[in-house]
Amino acid sequence: MAFIYDFLHGDKRRKPLPAKKKDELPHVRLGMTYKEWHDQAKGRHTWRNRRWAFLIFINLLFVVSFTFDLGLLEGSLSGSRLLGLYLMDPFNSTQELAIGATKGYIPHLTTNFWTGFITILVFYWLVGGRAFCSWVCPYHFFAEWGEKFHDYWIKKRKIKEKTYDITVKYVFWIGFILLALLTGELVFENLNPVGILSRSIIYGPGLALIWVVALLAYEVIGVKRFWCRYVCPIGVTYSFIGELSPINIKFELDKCGHCRDCQDVCLVPHELWFVKKGAATREVHYTGGDCTKCGLCIDACPGGSLSYGIRDSDLIFKS
Amino acid sequence: MSTGKQQLNRRQFLKASAAAVITLSAVGSLAFWLKDKSDVKDKGFLRPPGAIPEEDFLFACIKCGLCVQICPVHAVKLADWDTGLSYGTPYIDPNVQACDFSCDSIQCAETCPTSALHFPVFRSAGEKAVEELYKQYPNRKLPPNVNPFVVQIHAMKRAYKLGVAKVNVQQCLAYHGQGYKGPLTKHRAKMRPPGKGDRIYTDEITVDRKICDLCVVYCPLQEDAIVLKDQGGGKFLPEVLDGCVGCGVCQMVCPTEPKAIVIEPEENPKV
C-alpha cells in the first residue's frame, strides 16, 4: 500500500520548496498591483463554455440519434454505440464482471461488451479518467448550476458549509459492489443519477427523475456537490483509470501568486494541494485521479500558472 | 505517533464511513424488498425476445436501452418506477405495442452487449434450419426459387418463446358469434401485416369482420400458431397451437376490453 501511495502521491511526501519571498510573487515581477494582476482572470469562462458546449453536444447527439433514427450514438450513458463501436460504463461493467464471476456468466458476455469496456478504459486513461464527469455527465452539468445557488446562499449566510471526509467514496464504491454481489442485481443503477438523467433525456422523462431532483436539492441546500464528491462510484472508477493519465492539469509554480481562486472553483480542491503557499514540492505539479479536467481552475487562474498539459512532459523533454 | 490532525481525520473518516455503511444497508434491504416484488409475470408485461431467466436478467441487463433504439416498431420500452419492474429494464407491453416480428434479425437480442437478451439461441436455430434445408437437395444445390435467408429468419423467429397466448372464452366476440367493425386498434401502433408489405399504422386501417377473427388474421405466424375453430351453432373460437411464441400481436389487435386473448409470459430455460 505504501509503495502504491508513494508511486501516486510521492510528491506530497517530498520536502516543500521554500515559500516565495515577496519580490518573487508574479504581480511584483510584472510590475502590477495585486488587484490588477488578480483581475486578469475576471469573467473568463473559455474552458467552461467549451466544456458545456461539448457536454450538451454529446447528450443531444443521443437524443437526435434516437428521435430521427440516425444511428450515430445509440443507447445511453450506461452503454452505448458510437457509429457501431460499443462503449460501456466502467462501473456497470465492473459490477457485471463481479456478479458474472460468481455466477459463471462471464463466458456469455459478448465481444461487443469487451471491446466497449476496453475502449472506454483506454480512452479515459488517455484523456484523464474523470474527464467523463465534467465533459460528458449530464448530472455534473445540473450539479454545477446547483453549486452556484449553493455558493450564493452560503455567501448570504442562509446555510452553513458542511464537508465530509472525501475518502468515504471508496467505502461507497466497495459497498455498491458488495450489494451487487449480495442481491445479484445492479443495485446502484436504481440510484444512479447519471443513468436516470441520460435515459430521461433520451427516452422521455420518468418518475425516477424525482430521485435526481431530490439529490440536486440536497446539494443546493445541504452539502456542496454531495453526490459527485462523496458517493458516485462511477466517478471513483474513472478516477482509478485516470490516476496516471497523460493529459492532465499542469501547475507551474513560478507563475502562481497563491491567491487560491482555483481551489474555490474546484470540485475536488484537494487535488490542487500544491497551490497553497509553501506547499509545492516541485516547480511543476500535475493533478491526480480525482481531477475532472474541467478547466475551471485554468479560467480562474490570473497568472496562467494552470494549463492542460502532458504529465511529466517537463521531465521527459527537458529544454 | 499520530498527530492531532491525523486523529481528527481518522475520526471524520470513521464517522462518514459509518454513515455510508448505514445508507448502503438501507439501500440493500430496499433492493431485496423490491426484487421480491418485481415479477414480470404478474404485471402482464413481456421481456424482449431472448430474455434469459428473470433471476439472471436482473444483473445481466445494464439498462442501456440499445434494444429500445433498434426495435423498428418501438415495442421495447424501459421500465420506470410505476411499472413495478426493476427500474430501467426493457419490457414489452403487448396491449400498447406488440413485437410484430417485422424486424430482419431479432436485432434487439443481437445488439445486447451483455447477452441479457441471448442472441446465440436465435443464431444457432437459424444456422440449423439452413443446414437442414441444404441437406434436402442433392449435392446441396438449392433451386432458384428457394431463399435460404427466408428460411433462416423464419427459424430464428420461432426459436424463442416470450410466452403463450391464452384465450378467455367468455370475452371472445367470435364465441358469441359477433363480428367487429372499426379501426384495427384505437391507439396508434405499428405493425407489418402477415405476408409481404410495408408496415402500417393500426389505427389508420378499418376492418369489417362478420365473425371477429382479428387475432387469427393478423398473427405473424399464421396457421403455425393460431386457427379459428368452428364450435357449431354460429360460434367460433381461436385455438392456440404449439407454434405460438407469444409475440402479443393477437392481444394488441383484440378489440374487447378486457382483452379476450392475453399472452402469459413464459420463462425460458437457463442458457
Residue B136, burial from CB neighbour count under 10 angstroms (0-12, 13-18, 19+)? exposed
Q: Please check whether residues B69 and B140 belong to one and the same domain.
A: yes
Give A-chain residues touching B28 at CB under 8 angstroms. 179, 182-183, 187
Closest-CA residue of A relative to B121 is A108
Non-local CB neighbours of B63 within 8 Å, separated by 6+ positions = A76, A78, A186, A189, A195, A199, B78, B87, B88, B89
A39 Cα to chain B: minimum distance (Å): 35
B270 Cα to chain A: minimum distance (Å): 11
Q: Please check whether residues B65 and B151 belong to one and the same domain.
A: yes
Which one of A108, A181, A215, A270 would you mutate to disrupt binding with B, by most B Cβ within 10 Å of its Cβ?
A108
Looking at the domain assignment, is residue B98 inside a domain?
A: yes
Residues 87-116 of B with CB under 8 A from A: 87-88, 111-115
Q: Please check whether residues B150 and B94 belong to one and the same domain.
A: yes
Residue A75 contacts B where some CB pair is shorter than 8 Å: yes
CA distance B93 to B77: 8
Of B20, B35, B65, which has the smallest distance from its Cβ to A175's Cβ? Answer: B20
- Indicate if ipTM > 0.95: no
**DSSP 3-state of B268:** coil
Residue where a domain stops, chosen among B128, B157, B186 = B157
Number of domains in chain B: 3
Residue B18 contacts A where some CB pair is shorter than 8 Å: no
A92 Cα to chain B: minimum distance (Å): 7
Return the HEC string of chain A: CHHHHHHHHHHHHCCCCCCCCHHHCHHHHCCCCHHHHHHHHCCCCHHHHHHHHHHHHHHHHHHHHHHCCCCCEEEECCEEEECCEEEECHHHHHHHHHHHHHHCCHHHCCHHHHHHHHHHHHHHHHHCCCHHHHHCCHHHHHHHHHHHHHHHHHHCCCCCCCCCCCCHHHHHHHHHHHHHHHHCCCCHHHHCHHHHHHHHHHHCCCCCHHHHHHHHHHHHHCCCCHHHHHHCHHHHHHHHHHHHCCEEEEEEHHHCCCCCHHHHHCCCHHHHHHHCCCCCCCCEEECCCCCCCCCHHHHHCCCCCEEEEECCHHHHCCC
Residue A94 contacts B where some CB pair is shorter than 8 Å: no
Domain A15-44+246-314: top CATH class: alpha beta
Contact between chains at B82 and A116 (C-beta distance less than 8 A): no
pLDDT for res B40: 66
Q: Please check whether residues B222 and B239 belong to one and the same domain.
A: yes
pLDDT for res B39: 66
pLDDT for res A202: 94
Of B19, B21, B113, which has the smallest distance from its Cβ to A110's Cβ? Answer: B113
pLDDT for res B38: 62
Which one of A114, A171, A202 would you mutate to disrupt binding with B, by most B Cβ within 10 Å of its Cβ?
A171
Q: Please check whether residues B118 and B199 belong to one and the same domain.
A: no
Residue where a domain stops, chosen among B157, B183, B211 = B157
Give B-chain residues touching A75 at CB under 8 angstroms. 64-66, 69
* Domain containing residue B216: 163-264
Q: Please check whether residues B19 and B101 belong to one and the same domain.
A: no
Residues of chain A within CATH 3.30.70 domain(s) are 15-44+246-314
User: How confident is chain A (319 residues) per 10-residue block, as mean pLDDT?
Assistant: 72 86 88 91 93 96 93 93 94 95 92 96 93 96 95 89 89 94 90 94 92 95 93 95 90 92 92 91 90 94 93 74
Q: Please check whether residues B147 and B81 belong to one and the same domain.
A: yes
Give B-chain residues touching A164 at CB under 8 angstroms. 12, 16, 19
Tens-digit pLDDT profile for residues B216-230: 999 988 888 999 998
Residues of chain B with pLDDT under 50: 1-2
Looking at the domain assignment, is residue B140 inside a domain?
A: yes
Whose cell is 480562474? That residue is A300
Closest-CA residue of A relative to B12 is A165
Closest-CA residue of B relative to A115 is B113
Q: Please check whether residues B170 and B152 belong to one and the same domain.
A: no
Task: Say if CB B177 and CB B236 are below 8 A apart.
Answer: yes
Q: Please check whether residues B152 and B168 belong to one and the same domain.
A: no
Closest-CA residue of A relative to B114 is A109
Residues 179-208 of A with CB under 8 A from B: 179-180, 182-187, 189-191, 195-196, 199, 202-203, 206-208
pLDDT for res B1: 41
Is omega for the bond preceding B258 within 30 degrees of 0, making it cis?
Answer: yes
pLDDT for res B29: 85
Q: Please check whether residues B118 and B191 belong to one and the same domain.
A: no
B41 Cα to chain A: minimum distance (Å): 18
Residue A237 contacts B where some CB pair is shorter than 8 Å: no
Contact between chains at B63 and A195 (C-beta distance less than 8 A): yes
CA distance B79 to B86: 7
Residue where a domain stops, chosen among B127, B157, B187 = B157
Q: Please check whether residues B168 and B255 belong to one and the same domain.
A: yes
Q: Please check whether residues B211 and B251 belong to one and the same domain.
A: yes
